[in-house]
């Protein structure tokens, strides 16, 4: 088929790979801003550009028969901008006196967002390209490399969004408020578009990506590399049978809160089994570990007289929420830094109740804390310890009780929180500890008391999962998972990818830019049927965006090779550089969430 030539003087300076790699992002951020590129992308298909080497020589049909000059393109852009502003004024804002005043002081959103471009990119003056958060550098023909400007300051790209003013004479403009907040997310690339994945029983770790909700057009099999069903137990025949038996015997829901007809023998059996797993007197179930962390920390901190909380700077949002809500004094120590924890503890009088809260396996950097030292230091200063083992339960220790069991320090852990939703393949959360402590949270914790209890299907499946975890089968699954993690990690490192080295099963790969991280994942899915989710703000801090990979016992060596191969290709295609293989991998700075 005869294909037209792309006439854009700016885009034609880029390599084919740059444009191909960035096309989805360019499209999503502003194809309507650029008449030339939108025309080009409408006509071009992946197969058509597959063998092209450079856009300037690509054969692409265009309704524009001659290249536009720089001034002509600028004029088109300015006109579009004017139209957009006009549309914005006429469609979004009702002409009241108050909002006319507001508009006088408002920077109207441009189709481009706030434009920040580095000096290195000054020669690409296209107003359209400037609008994308990807800053291109010209290709260096002599060296076979394309570099993306890594100095990009994503904070600056997010232009301040003007929220509707409160005006006593008129009702608040709710839609304008929601619009502005969503727009802010889109502009800083933190707006989330979920991938629609249908898990297929018996096919783990493969699943089906459903492009369309109501039909199977374009559905296809994909390999999932980012599931927290770490051992694939979610599809284990024993769990499936347990769920079917439970629904047959007891029906669907639990029928009430734990207090009002919602406590069954299954609840009590599961609590008993969890207590046994963690070698504690007692355990208490919650509908998720988010609720468990939030409720337990809030309830304890709020109730203990003059309580202070010491919180790891990398703590999960669920802990942060409970701590914040309690409004007690909090002291944030550097991630897994025992010395800093001790420094802070020293400043608080010994008689004051203190809760030291942290995770064993960090969910996003994969680090594992020096658990025994942390516990010893906390106890030395009279604290009670609250340890989130969410990413460790099922995976570490002889029975899968977590890092505490692996390190033989379960007896030193005062309160353990865990999830039934990850390695245990279901949903729900719990805390385990002394009988008095769990009874206290049971009696005072709003997030425990005032919510419907977990249904029989979930309880039965969790019981089956823990039984497997404590058996030889569980130990074999953990061994195989660790083998696969080691194989994958070393192959990724050998390929020159910037793996953030960690001692756990979590393999993060540093990207450092939200748009690029999303782009990499889109390419992996679209071109290689591989699903990895990019991890962007607010899960991690801006500038520390990453891919987070989780190998399971069911990923094969062949799948590992396919992943490494695909990842290195897309990595280069989006213009990122691979490390030279001889160069030793540096530990990336640990990137943490906002702390409490
Ligand atoms: N704690 C950590 C460290 C987590 O990563 C998560 C996340 O999913 C939770 C707690 C919440 O667990 P759940 O998914 O059971 O609510």
- Residue 519 buriedness (CB in 10 A; 0-12 / 13-18 / 19+): buried
Residue 201 lies in a domain: yes
Query: From the alpha carbon of 362, which atom of ligand 1 is closest?
Result: 3
Over residues 226-253, mean pLDDT: 98
- Distance between CA atoms of residues 159 and 175, nearest Å: 19
For residue 230 and ligand 1, the question of a CB distance below 6 A is answered with: no
Q: What's the gap in Å between 419 CA and the centre of ligand 1?
A: 7
For residue 363 and ligand 1, the question of a CB distance below 6 A is answered with: yes
For residue 419 and ligand 1, the question of a CB distance below 6 A is answered with: yes
Residues 463 and 486 in one domain: no
Residue 563 lies in a domain: yes
For residue 429 and ligand 1, the question of a CB distance below 6 A is answered with: yes
Q: How far apart are the first and last CA of the chain?
A: 59
Residues 321 and 420 in one domain: yes
- Distance between CA atoms of residues 562 and 572, nearest Å: 16
Q: How many CB atoms lie within 10 A of CB 123?
A: 11
- Distance between CA atoms of residues 154 and 177, nearest Å: 23
Residues 226 and 241 in one domain: no
Using an 8 Å Cβ cutoff, are 589 and 367 in contact? no
Of 8, 67, 2, which is closest to residue 40 (Cα–Cα)? 8
pLDDT score, position 165? 77
453: pLDDT strictly greater than 60:
yes
Alpha carbon separation from 72 to 42, 82, 123 (Å, rounded): 21, 15, 18
For residue 510 and ligand 1, the question of a CB distance below 6 A is answered with: no
pLDDT score, position 210? 93
- Distance between CA atoms of residues 55 and 256, nearest Å: 63
Task: Write the CATH number for 421.
Answer: 3.40.640.10
Residues 225 and 251 in one domain: no
Query: From the alpha carbon of 428, which atom of ligand 1 is closest?
Result: 15
Between 542 and 532, name the one with better pLDDT.
Answer: 532
Q: How many CB atoms lie within 10 A of CB 395?
A: 25
Number of domains in the chain: 2
pLDDT score, position 170? 85
The structure's pTM equals 0.75
Residue 93 lies in a domain: no
Alpha carbon separation from 502 to 214, 366, 378, 409, 484 (Å, rounded): 41, 5, 24, 21, 15
204: pLDDT strictly greater than 70:
yes
Q: How many CB atoms lie within 10 A of CB 510?
A: 18
pLDDT score, position 99? 38
Q: Which of 75-89, 187-201, 352-366, 415-429 has the lowest mean pLDDT?
A: 75-89
474: pLDDT strictly greater than 80:
yes
Residues 225 and 244 in one domain: no
Query: Cis before residue 22, ω within 30 degrees of 0?
Result: no
For residue 316 and ligand 1, the question of a CB distance below 6 A is answered with: yes
Residues 241 and 379 in one domain: yes
126: pLDDT strictly greater than 90:
no
Using an 8 Å Cβ cutoff, are 355 and 301 in contact? yes
Compute CA 101 distance to the chain's CA centroid, rounded to the nearest angstrom.
Answer: 40
- Distance between CA atoms of residues 149 and 156, nearest Å: 15
**Dihedral in degrees, nearest 10, Cα atoms 263, 264, 265, 269:** -60
Residues 376 and 406 in one domain: yes
397: pLDDT strictly greater than 80:
yes
What mean pLDDT is reported for the chain?
81
Residues annotated as catalytic (active site), given as ranges = 422
Per DSSP, the residues of 488-504 read: HHHHHHHTT--B---SS
Q: How many CB atoms lie within 10 A of CB 155?
A: 11
Q: What's the gap in Å between 201 CA and the centre of ligand 1?
A: 24
Q: Best substitution site from 387, 390, 422 to test ligand 1's pocket, by max atoms within 8 Å of Cβ?
A: 390
Query: Which segments of 118-264 does DSSP mark as H helices, in order?
Result: 127-131, 154-157, 174-187, 237-250
Closest Cα to atom 3 of ligand 1: 316
217: phi then psi, degrees, rounded to nearest 5: -55, 135
Strand order in the sheet with 308-312: 282-286, 429-433, 415-419, 383-388, 354-359, 308-312, 330-333
Name the DSSP letter for residue 399.
T
Query: Cis before residue 106, ω within 30 degrees of 0?
Result: no
Over residues 130-154, mean pLDDT: 39
Per-residue pLDDT tens over the stretch 40-98? 555 553 333 333 333 333 333 333 344 455 555 556 656 655 665 565 555 544 433 33
Among 410, 443, 470, where does a domain finish? 470
Name the DSSP letter for residue 54.
B
Q: What's the gap in Å between 226 CA and the centre of ligand 1?
A: 15
For residue 548 and ligand 1, the question of a CB distance below 6 A is answered with: no
For residue 359 and ligand 1, the question of a CB distance below 6 A is answered with: yes
Query: From the alpha carbon of 315, which atom of ligand 1 is closest?
Result: 3
Among 470, 500, 521, where does a domain finish? 470
Of 387, 359, 372, which is closest to residue 590 (Cα–Cα)? 359
Residues 409 and 529 in one domain: no
Residues 432 and 549 in one domain: no
Per-residue pLDDT tens over the stretch 271-299? 999 999 999 999 999 999 999 999 999 99
Residues 401 and 429 in one domain: yes
Using an 8 Å Cβ cutoff, are 298 and 386 in contact? no
Give the 3-state secondary structure of residue 215.
Answer: coil
**357: phi > 0 → left, psi -120 to 50 → alpha, else beta; which?**
beta
**3-state secondary structure string, 240-284?**
HHHHHHHHHHHCCCCCCECCCCCCCHHHHHHHHHHHHHCCCCEEE
Closest Cα to atom 13 of ligand 1: 289
- Distance between CA atoms of residues 559 and 478, nearest Å: 19
Q: Which of 7-21, 209-223, 391-405, 539-553 has the lowest mean pLDDT?
A: 7-21
For residue 318 and ligand 1, the question of a CB distance below 6 A is answered with: yes
Closest Cα to atom 12 of ligand 1: 289
Residue 501 lies in a domain: yes
Q: What's the gap in Å between 468 CA and the centre of ligand 1?
A: 21
Using an 8 Å Cβ cutoff, are 498 and 531 in contact? no
Residues 440 and 550 in one domain: no
Using an 8 Å Cβ cutoff, are 416 and 433 in contact? yes
Per-residue pLDDT tens over the stretch 293-336? 999 999 999 999 999 999 999 999 999 999 999 999 999 999 99
For residue 398, give its domain range. Answer: 237-470
What residues does 368 pair with on adjacent strands? 361
């Amino acid at each position: 088929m005869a294909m037209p030539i792309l006439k854009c003087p700016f885009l034609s300076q880029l390599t084919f790979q740059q444009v191909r790699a960035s096309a989805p992002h360019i499209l999503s951020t502003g194809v309507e801003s650029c008449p030339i590129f939108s025309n080009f992308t409408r006509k071009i298909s992946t197969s058509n550009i597959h063998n092209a080497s450079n856009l300037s020589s690509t054969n692409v049909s265009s309704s524009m028969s001659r290249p536009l000059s720089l001034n002509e393109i600028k004029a088109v852009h300015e006109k579009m901008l004017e139209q957009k502003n006009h549309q914005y004024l006429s469609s979004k804002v009702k002409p009241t006196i108050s909002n006319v005043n507001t508009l006088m002081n408002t920077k109207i959103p441009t189709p481009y967002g706030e434009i920040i471009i580095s000096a290195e990119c000054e020669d690409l003056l296209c107003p359209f390209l400037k609008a994308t958060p990807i800053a291109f550098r010209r290709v260096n023909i002599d060296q076979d490399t394309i570099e993306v400007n890594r100095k990009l300051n994503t904070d600056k790209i997010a232009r301040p969004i003007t929220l509707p003013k409160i005006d006593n004479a008129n009702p608040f403009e709710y839609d304008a408020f929601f619009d502005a907040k969503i727009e802010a997310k889109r502009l800083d690339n933190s707006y989330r578009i979920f991938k629609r994945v249908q898990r297929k029983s018996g096919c783990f770790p493969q699943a089906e990506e459903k492009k369309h909700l109501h039909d199977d057009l374009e559905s296809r099999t994909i390999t999932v590399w980012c599931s927290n069903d770490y051992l694939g137990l979610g599809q284990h025949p024993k769990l499936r049978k347990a769920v079917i038996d439970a629904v047959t015997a007891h029906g669907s829901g639990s029928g009430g809160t734990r207090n009002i007809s919602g406590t069954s023998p299954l609840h009590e059996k599961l609590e008993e089994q969890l207590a046994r797993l963690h070698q504690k007197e007692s355990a208490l179930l919650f509908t998720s570990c988010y609720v468990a962390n939030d409720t337990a920390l809030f309830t304890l901190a709020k109730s203990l007289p003059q309580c202070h909380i010491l919180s790891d700077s990398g703590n999960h949002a669920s802990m942060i929420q409970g701590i914040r809500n309690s409004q007690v004094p909090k002291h944030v120590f550097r991630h897994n830094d025992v010395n800093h924890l001790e420094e802070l503890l020293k400043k608080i009088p010994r008689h004051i109740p203190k809760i030291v809260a942290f995770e064993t396996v960090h969910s996003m950097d994969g680090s594992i804390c020096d658990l025994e030292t942390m516990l010893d230091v906390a106890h030395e200063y009279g604290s009670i310890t609250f340890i989130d083992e969410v990413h460790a339960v099922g995976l570490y220790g002889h029975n899968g009780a977590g890092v505490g069991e692996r390190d033989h320090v379960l007896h030193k852990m005062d309160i353990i929180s865990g999830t039934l939703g990850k390695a245990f393949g279901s949903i729900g959360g719990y805390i385990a500890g002394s009988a008095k402590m769990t009874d206290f949270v049971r009696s005072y914790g709003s997030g425990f008391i005032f919510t419907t209890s977990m249904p029989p299907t979930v309880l039965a499946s969790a019981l089956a999962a823990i039984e497997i975890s404590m058996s030889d089968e569980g130990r074999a699954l953990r061994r195989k998972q660790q083998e696969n993690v080691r194989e994958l990690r070393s192959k990724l490192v050998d390929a020159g990818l910037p793996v953030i080295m960690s001692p756990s099963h979590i393999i993060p790969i540093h990207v450092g830019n939200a748009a690029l991280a999303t782009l990499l994942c889109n390419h992996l899915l679209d071109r290689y049927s591989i699903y990895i989710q990019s991890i962007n703000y607010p899960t991690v801090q801006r500038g520390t965006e990453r891919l987070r990979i989780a190998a399971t016992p069911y990923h094969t060596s062949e799948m590992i090779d396919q992943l490494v191969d695909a990842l290195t290709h897309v990595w280069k295609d989006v213009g990122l550089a691979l490390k030279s293989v001889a160069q030793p991998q540096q530990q990336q700075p640990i990137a943490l969430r906002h702390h409490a």
